[in-house]
Amino acid sequence: MKLLVGLGNPGEKYQATRHNVGFMVAEQVAQRHRIALKKKGYQGIYGVGRLVVQETTVLLPQTFMNCSGSSVNAAYQSLGLTPGDLIVIYDDLDLSFGRIRIKPGGGHGGHNGLRDIVAKLGIDNFVRLRIGIGRPEHGNITGHVLSRFAPDEQKGLSTLLDVAAEAAEKILVDGVVAAMNSYNSYNLYD
């Protein structure tokens, strides 16, 4: 069993915002593999299904971003996973919009959702799929992450979500190293 977690904030107010790009990618993966995200548990909404050969739980925590660790830890412990079985998808300010990065561990990089997951699980060696949202020009980080994508970004968003979903599938099927080799140089604008 693998656990694929998309990070975001629950509620209509936050739908389609930069901070919810993790939700968007996880939903895309679930949809592509006909995994219904209708079960309630682990302080989130989830579904279970098969991604090619890999049994996978797709989880969208409903605890708000900064408290994501409670939801992820509940699923992680209940499913009896190891760090390599956990893939977390989230937005990254330090990557420009349209870039993707996969890492098999590391710090939280200032991301409060990731910080909470590391704190609650007591580990940091799980797989991360980072989706670039870029930094704001004038430093209003909160306003930037909670805002919707700009019109020029909207044009490429569906392609970015498709490629990020493919990257998540590659991690699950072929492993993190193969996925890194295939997707860490990806740039929507190349």
Residues catalogued as catalytic: 19
Cβ neighbours, 10 Å, residue 129 = 28
Question: What's the rounded Cα separation, in Å, for the pair 113 and 62?
Answer: 12
Q: Nearest Cα to 22, choosing from 96, 90, 102, 112?
A: 90
Q: Which residues 6+ apart lie within 8 Å of 174 measured at CB?
A: none
The arrangement of strands across the sheet holding 2-6 comes to: 39-41, 44-51, 54-61, 2-6, 86-92, 127-132, 100-103
